[in-house]
Chains A and B, each alone.
Chain A
């Protein structure tokens, strides 16, 4: 009986469900891609980064001069309308060719 108890304890302790409290969640994150005309100078495009970063809905922004695009990652449950995006880009002296939206899966493990 003593041996049976020891075996049961070992089996229960080694079970992954005892030690692991991991929770997997899967959220979708909206990525907005703005195709911008006139964005040929890195030094001048700095302003875009600054104005988008102070928008409450924006999680991050990246500028790609090769493809003339600005990619904006939106915070979960937030929205940044096309009208506002155009306003910010025009305010920096550029023209907007088109805006596309896509969703990316964001997996969080704790």
Chain B
């Protein structure tokens, strides 16, 4: 999985151990902050609701690793809660994440929400299209323009490959892709 947006470039390899637990490695580069993070990640699904027409999930996401800024290296931790609810037509998600890297940042948190709608309901194996709106809140950002970011995006997937393309209210691009093996 790779995500690229106004804030960071992120490469993410994940192994799903079982339905409740997945483990991964995350490599991040934050251009503006001149910061790199290399973290191990554990995602834990602690609640799921299945109905005939919907699915809802709650996750605990945690990361532990090393942050590098300039010549300085320090332990880096991230903890987050994420939830989503979707049908074949509608999608919503919310995530709140806090992180701390001693001496590089004194703790920060951000939150992100998404709503989406599928303009058509595609069958299994067909090309699926979602139109989404992503809202991010970075209260500690030094740049006022980056405290709240709104990104309209298109999500496309077919088979084991998913791609997201968007552009935010500051003109910053978003390009995410995920491949399943």
* Pair A66/B162 contact, Cβ less than 8 Å: no
* Pair B124/A63 contact, Cβ less than 8 Å: yes
- A94 / chain B contacts, CB cutoff of 8 Å: 50
* Pair A42/B157 contact, Cβ less than 8 Å: yes
Chain B contributes a number of interface residues (CB within 8 A of A) equal to: 25
Instruction: Give min CB distance, A73 to chain B, whole Å.
Output: 16
* Pair A38/B50 contact, Cβ less than 8 Å: yes
* Pair A38/B157 contact, Cβ less than 8 Å: no
Q: Which chain A residue lies CB-closest to B125?
A: A42
- B87 / chain A contacts, CB cutoff of 8 Å: 40
* Pair B128/A93 contact, Cβ less than 8 Å: no
Of B18, B51, B126, B157, the contact of A37 (CB 8 Å cutoff): B51
- B18 / chain A contacts, CB cutoff of 8 Å: 91
- B162 / chain A contacts, CB cutoff of 8 Å: 43
Q: Is A79 on the interface with B (CB-CB < 8 A)?
A: no
Bound together, the chains give a CA A87 to CA B51 distance in angstroms of: 18
Of B48, B53, B54, B122, the contact of A93 (CB 8 Å cutoff): B48
- A38 / chain B contacts, CB cutoff of 8 Å: 48-51, 54-55
Q: Is B105 on the interface with A (CB-CB < 8 A)?
A: no
Q: Is A64 on the interface with B (CB-CB < 8 A)?
A: yes
Instruction: Give min CB distance, B137 to chain A, whole Å.
Output: 26
Q: Is A7 on the interface with B (CB-CB < 8 A)?
A: no
Residue-wise, chain A 62-88 has the 8 Å CB interface mask toward B (1 for contact) of 111110100000000000000000000
Q: Which chain A residue lies CB-closest to B19?
A: A93
Q: Which of A39, A44, A64 has the most CB of B within 10 A?
A: A39
Residues of B within 8 A of A (CB): 18-19, 45, 48-55, 86-88, 122-126, 128, 157, 159-160, 162, 180
Q: What would 8 A/B residue contacts be, using CB atoms closer than 8 Å?
A: A37-B50, A40-B54, A45-B124, A46-B159, A66-B123, A91-B18, A93-B19, A95-B50
Closest 4 CB pairs of A and B: A38-B50, A37-B50, A38-B55, A95-B50
